Amino acid sequence: MSDRILNAELKRKVMSAAEAAEFVQHGDNVGVSGFTGAGYPKALPSAIAERAQAAHAKGEDFKINLFTGASTADAADGVLANAGAINFRAPYNSDRTLRAQFNDGTAFYSDIHLSHLGQQVQQGFFGRMNVAILECVRINEDGTVVPSSAVGNNVEYADAADKIILEVNTWQSEGLVGMHDVYAPEKLWERTPIPIVNVGDRIGDPFHRIDVSKVVAVVETDAPDRNSPFKEPDEVSKKIAANFLQFLEDEVAAGRLSYDNYVMQSGVGNVPNAVMAGLLDSKFENITAYTEVIQDGMLDLIDAGKMTVASATSFSLSPDAAVRMNDRADFYAQHIILRPQAISNHPEVIRRVGLIASNGLIEADIYGNVNSTNVAGTRIMNGIGGSGDFTRNAYISSFVTPSVAKGGAISAIVPFAAHIDHTEHDAMVFVTEYGYADLRGLAPRQRAEKMIAIAHPDYRPLLEEYVAAANAKGGHTPHDLTKAFEFHTRFLDTGTMLK
Amino acid sequence: MSDRILNAELKRKVMSAAEAAEFVQHGDNVGVSGFTGAGYPKALPSAIAERAQAAHAKGEDFKINLFTGASTADAADGVLANAGAINFRAPYNSDRTLRAQFNDGTAFYSDIHLSHLGQQVQQGFFGRMNVAILECVRINEDGTVVPSSAVGNNVEYADAADKIILEVNTWQSEGLVGMHDVYAPEKLWERTPIPIVNVGDRIGDPFHRIDVSKVVAVVETDAPDRNSPFKEPDEVSKKIAANFLQFLEDEVAAGRLSYDNYVMQSGVGNVPNAVMAGLLDSKFENITAYTEVIQDGMLDLIDAGKMTVASATSFSLSPDAAVRMNDRADFYAQHIILRPQAISNHPEVIRRVGLIASNGLIEADIYGNVNSTNVAGTRIMNGIGGSGDFTRNAYISSFVTPSVAKGGAISAIVPFAAHIDHTEHDAMVFVTEYGYADLRGLAPRQRAEKMIAIAHPDYRPLLEEYVAAANAKGGHTPHDLTKAFEFHTRFLDTGTMLK
């Protein structure tokens, strides 16, 4: 047995994943740890999938309703989806098999803001939470638990669950100890303010206090997180990043931002990587991040003394960066805080700290409405994630995107977004490789001009043609509803949005 | 001179509205008090309109950019719009002339969440604020000011403005003194938590501390607010209210709500009136309201001992209720709090108090996306108002609406909302006269069934026909984009959404 299980009572609960999976029944609501490929349980999902397959082989039903922090990995969502063992899932998923099941209607997905789900589970919106399965780095002598590389909804799921199963993963570095700040808001109707005033404030415990009497099993694992290699930003990403940084510079020039104490939030991917690389060489100092995910670029900014604190709910590091982090865990623990996602994404704190949000998108329309989730309005990709939490409550909200996708067959700017996740009331600034469109203070007709100016040149004439047809119909938000989705229907018919 | 101007320095600034209007120039950003027809300036808008008309007669440009709390009245938005004196306007407008100008593109409107605008003005998103014009009940000896029947964005506008003009309105009851709770959040990057824990907490001053040196004029007025007579709820509204109350009862039965301490937020209109009448006879006790507007029904609930506190940013009372309120101002001052709209609508406080939001809509689609603002996607009605602030941050969000409008020619439930102000991620429960649709925990395909069940029976076959076509195309959110707006285009072509 590993030396990471220090509580005597819980030592006696150690068993195999197969044994532990017996605590999970068909129809159960199961809440698991895990966020963006980090900190998900590594053993139980396979064991549950095997139970499901055995049941299916006997002609019996076996499906669970799976609640996570955000995306997990093949070893969690993947194995369960492949076994046909998921009936319902929330929130945010990046597993391909499960995505296909959502899209063909064989599994059900509810796309909920990441800051909302924990409370909704606690309040019983989904019925009882039967089992919580939480990965951890260590179980302390007093029965408190050190979460692993993500905190996610662990607090709410453990609180709501009838039974708790702990996975103690010795692959996870003990260097994580001390990085967590586990704070549970009071229950509804008894709440007090969340006392975070500065991004770096620690307000909770470096461990998770669970009800030890609810733990039915402890399982030992040694498997790695789904860490993806870092991709060097491509030329388009670098141009988008340069335009985003130009926007920041222009805000400083306008007196609305300072080189000191820029508070960033950032989605994950090529463009954010390029932005962080650009910040390394910028005039911005004492940068902080109040965001969901700690990324490679933040370690670089911390190393360079540019970033003082990064607060998030999970890690999403390349294997190289994970090694760097573990080698200097004591140093990084002074600069990194992992919080529950209810806190990392909480409107209260986001609004207070005055951050600039920067997220990706599938498409935006000429009036600034954003589709983050459903390709051509119908096929779900991953989900809204935390983009709503940050976009709505940011000091300034921005979206960064290449102007086209699929080699030019898809325009990121369309007449009417075929699914809307962020409304014209929330999205302020859009950035492509062709510049930025600052929509603040503009009426819809004025916004269309700005948005078309940052569209790909091949699409500008088509967008202008639409605007002419729409303006002929009139209205505050001009549209010709017979043509509003022509970009999308042309793509579906011909494989390209171009004429 | 009225005995309500007690400050010696400001007494010397008393002048006519025409003289005060000389401080307003073409191109100025002008921030005024006023919210939902209460507390708007009564004299300056006409005087500015006259200046504009005189300039226009000479062939000169004269337009201002007008920032309010929310809707005002003929005497403010109306006279300025009629004079062609408004270039830009934010947020929320119910004036018909101005609305027509937005829709024909001769005036520009930016539809911003009511909780957001004050901060955005302070941070300079719209450039300098040249003049703030604020109605008040009284100017105290020390130069502090008692706001009138709305607080709105007074704090932010006075703070940001170069010049302040005060309108002291003796029509406004001095019984309002003591009802206000004026709290200004710290500037960005220096903020601390807003210390409201219970709906009834007072955290600021009963007056507004302004920079007296910025006051360039004081104008005396004696004109009434735009108070509208109370309309008795009709039969459809009563049915919707009964279904909403049934939803509340079912939440109590499910253990997610208690008869004690129900925290309500409510839009304005017939259905909310009927809901409040229903609450009078319900088992709910110690009701509180954390909302935008104090309405007649809240006075009834307070009188009956059912409601302990109503917190809002303005009054919208019938003339009869206004008399009742003034006659017993001392009593009501113990139960009513008027806050800045940045606080009445603040995500931080809304999320903390755990309220149930209930707002109207123009249309919702079968997947739970809501259009609150643009008829047929193009023609602006009033704006999003505070519905986004409350819907996103509520414990439970709901929308209440008759199933049809225009005698059945318009269905409130459509295949695809032609403008989206509240997304499927935010809207939880819909209520019509045919029942309620609880979308929590459901995937889009499952939601469509629930939504169609509360649509008007005449529209159910058409909606089912659409769902069949959409499902044939597949996807997590099934749509046939060639037919998605057929309800709207049919209405535009034939005058009815019915076939």
Specify the CATH number for the domain of residue B49.
3.40.1080.10
Residues 151-210 of A with CB under 8 A from B: 188-189, 191-195, 197
Active-site position among B156, B167, B251, B292: B292
Give B62→chain A minimum CA distance, Å. Answer: 19
Please state the rounded mean pLDDT for residues A277-296.
Answer: 96
Query: B30 is in which domain, residue-wise?
Result: 8-221
Q: Are residues A248 and A372 in the same domain?
A: yes
* Confidence at residue B186, expressed as pLDDT on a 0 to 100 scale: 87
Eight-class DSSP state of B213: G
Does residue B406 have a known ligand-binding role? yes
Measured between CB atoms, which of B105, B347, B477 is closest to A351?
A: B347
Which residue in the block uniquely carries the two structure tokens 């907490």?
B201
Interface probe with A: pick from B121, B350, B423, most Cβ of A within 10 Å: B423
The verdict on a CB contact (< 8 Å) between A443 and B378 is no
The verdict on a CB contact (< 8 Å) between A369 and B482 is no
- Collect all residues of chain B within an 8 Å Cβ-Cβ radius of residue A357: none
Instruction: Kindly tell me if the per-residue pLDDT of A416 is higher than 80.
Output: yes
The CA distance from B124 to A377, in Å, is 36
Q: Which of A224, A167, A217, A168 is nearest to A45 (CA)?
A: A167
Q: Which residue has the higher pLDDT, A257 or B325?
A: A257
Q: A226 in a domain, yes or no? A: no
Q: Are residues A201 and A246 in the same domain?
A: no
Let me know how many helices (H) and strands (E) chain B has, helices first: 18, 25
The CA distance from B83 to B66, in Å, is 14
Interface contact A447, partner B, CB < 8 A? no
Q: B464 in a domain, yes or no? A: yes
Interface contact B126, partner A, CB < 8 A? yes
* Confidence at residue A329, expressed as pLDDT on a 0 to 100 scale: 87
A235 CB-near residues (< 8 Å, 6+ apart): none
The verdict on a CB contact (< 8 Å) between B489 and A482 is yes
The verdict on a CB contact (< 8 Å) between A481 and B473 is no
Q: A3 in a domain, yes or no? A: no
Instruction: Kindly tell me if the per-residue pLDDT of B1 is higher than 80.
Output: no
* Confidence at residue B185, expressed as pLDDT on a 0 to 100 scale: 85
Domain boundary among A163, A195, A221: A221
* Confidence at residue B119, expressed as pLDDT on a 0 to 100 scale: 97
Burial of residue A132 (CB within 10 Å: 0-12, 13-18, 19+) is buried
Active site residue B292: yes
* Confidence at residue B220, expressed as pLDDT on a 0 to 100 scale: 98
Instruction: Kindly tell me if the per-residue pLDDT of A228 is higher than 90.
Output: no
Measured between CB atoms, which of B103, B256, B473 is closest to A474?
A: B103
State the DSSP H helix or E strand holding residue B176, giving kind and residue range, or none if neither. Answer: none
Q: Are residues A151 and A266 in the same domain?
A: no
Average predicted confidence (pLDDT) for chain A: 97
* Confidence at residue A157, expressed as pLDDT on a 0 to 100 scale: 98
Amino acid identity for residue A315 in this structure = F
What's the domain count of chain A?
2
Q: Are residues A12 and A45 in the same domain?
A: yes
pLDDT band at residue B269 under the 50/70/90 scheme? confident
B116-126 residue pLDDT tens: 999 999 999 99
Q: B439 in a domain, yes or no? A: yes
Please state the rounded mean pLDDT for residues B407-434.
Answer: 98
Q: Are residues A246 and A209 in the same domain?
A: no
pLDDT band at residue A272 under the 50/70/90 scheme? very high
Alpha helix segments (H runs only) across A34-95: 44-57, 79-82
- Collect all residues of chain B within an 8 Å Cβ-Cβ radius of residue A378: 473-479
* Confidence at residue A270, expressed as pLDDT on a 0 to 100 scale: 87
Partner residues linked to A131 by β-bridges: A30, A163
A5-19 residue pLDDT tens: 999 999 999 999 999
Please state the rounded mean pLDDT for residues B18-38.
Answer: 97
The CA distance from A241 to A243, in Å, is 5
* Confidence at residue B187, expressed as pLDDT on a 0 to 100 scale: 86
Give B278→chain A minimum CA distance, Å. Answer: 23
* Confidence at residue B240, expressed as pLDDT on a 0 to 100 scale: 97
Q: Are residues B193 and B286 in the same domain?
A: no
Interface contact A282, partner B, CB < 8 A? no
Q: Specify the 3-state DSSP secondary structure of A409.
A: coil
Does residue B370 have a known ligand-binding role? no
Q: Are residues B207 and B329 in the same domain?
A: no
Does residue A273 have a known ligand-binding role? no
The verdict on a CB contact (< 8 Å) between B476 and A380 is yes
- Collect all residues of chain A within an 8 Å Cβ-Cβ radius of residue B254: 124
The CA distance from A325 to A330, in Å, is 9
pLDDT band at residue B200 under the 50/70/90 scheme? very high
- Collect all residues of chain B within an 8 Å Cβ-Cβ radius of residue A489: 481-482
Domain boundary among A161, A191, A221: A221
- Collect all residues of chain A within an 8 Å Cβ-Cβ radius of residue B446: 108
* Confidence at residue B487, expressed as pLDDT on a 0 to 100 scale: 98
Instruction: Kindly tell me if the per-residue pLDDT of A306 is higher than 90.
Output: yes
- Collect all residues of chain B within an 8 Å Cβ-Cβ radius of residue A450: none
Please state the rounded mean pLDDT for residues B175-183.
Answer: 96
Q: B372 in a domain, yes or no? A: yes
Measured between CB atoms, which of B197, B369, B476 is closest to A102?
A: B476
Instruction: Kindly tell me if the per-residue pLDDT of A2 is higher than 90.
Output: no
Q: Are residues B192 and B324 in the same domain?
A: no
Q: Which of B167, B170, B195, B166 is nearest to B181 (CA)?
A: B195
Instruction: Kindly tell me if the per-residue pLDDT of A101 is higher than 90.
Output: yes
State the DSSP H helix or E strand holding residue B148, giving kind and residue range, or none if neither. Answer: none
* Confidence at residue A230, expressed as pLDDT on a 0 to 100 scale: 81
The CA distance from A397 to A404, in Å, is 21
From the centroid of its chain, how far is CA A220?
27
* Confidence at residue A481, expressed as pLDDT on a 0 to 100 scale: 98
Q: A404 in a domain, yes or no? A: yes
Please state the rounded mean pLDDT for residues A235-262.
Answer: 97
The verdict on a CB contact (< 8 Å) between B110 and A478 is no
Average predicted confidence (pLDDT) for chain B: 97
Q: Which of A448-452, B269-273, B300-304, B380-384 has the lowest mean pLDDT?
A: B269-273
Measured between CB atoms, which of A125, A188, A421 is closest to B423?
A: A421
* Confidence at residue B326, expressed as pLDDT on a 0 to 100 scale: 85
Mind telling me the catalytic residues of A? Answer: 292
Does residue A267 have a known ligand-binding role? yes
B8 CB-near residues (< 8 Å, 6+ apart): none
Q: Are residues A74 and A185 in the same domain?
A: yes
Q: Are residues A212 and A242 in the same domain?
A: no
The verdict on a CB contact (< 8 Å) between A193 and B352 is yes
Q: A178 in a domain, yes or no? A: yes
From the centroid of its chain, how far is CA B343?
13
The CA distance from A171 to A488, in Å, is 46
pLDDT band at residue A269 under the 50/70/90 scheme? confident
Q: Is the N-terminal amide bond of A91 cis, ω within 30° of 0?
A: yes
Q: B244 in a domain, yes or no? A: yes
* Confidence at residue A186, expressed as pLDDT on a 0 to 100 scale: 87
Tokens of A16: 């195999």
The CA distance from B220 to B168, in Å, is 5
pLDDT band at residue B230 under the 50/70/90 scheme? confident
Domain boundary among B221, B256, B280: B221
Burial B424-444 (b: 16+ CB within 10 A, else e): bbbbbbbbbbbbbbbbbbbbb
Q: Are residues A400 and A463 in the same domain?
A: yes
Q: Specify the 3-state DSSP secondary structure of A153.
A: coil
Please state the rounded mean pLDDT for residues A131-139.
Answer: 98
Task: Give DSSP secondary structure letters for B276-291.
Answer: HHHHHTSS-BSEEEES
The verdict on a CB contact (< 8 Å) between A111 and B425 is yes
The verdict on a CB contact (< 8 Å) between B125 and A484 is no
The CA distance from B352 to B203, in Å, is 15
A50-100 residue pLDDT tens: 999 999 999 999 999 999 999 999 999 999 999 999 999 999 999 999 999
Q: Are residues B323 and B289 in the same domain?
A: yes
A317-348 residue pLDDT tens: 999 998 998 899 889 999 999 999 999 999 99
Please state the rounded mean pLDDT for residues A300-328.
Answer: 94
Measured between CB atoms, which of A123, A351, A479 is closest to B377?
A: A479
Residues 377-436 of A with CB under 8 A from B: 377-380, 384, 388, 392-393, 395, 418-426
B152-166 residue pLDDT tens: 999 999 999 999 999
Q: Which of A112-126, A226-240, B141-155, B349-363 has the lowest mean pLDDT?
A: A226-240
Amino acid identity for residue A486 in this structure = E
CATH code of B399's domain: 3.40.1080.20
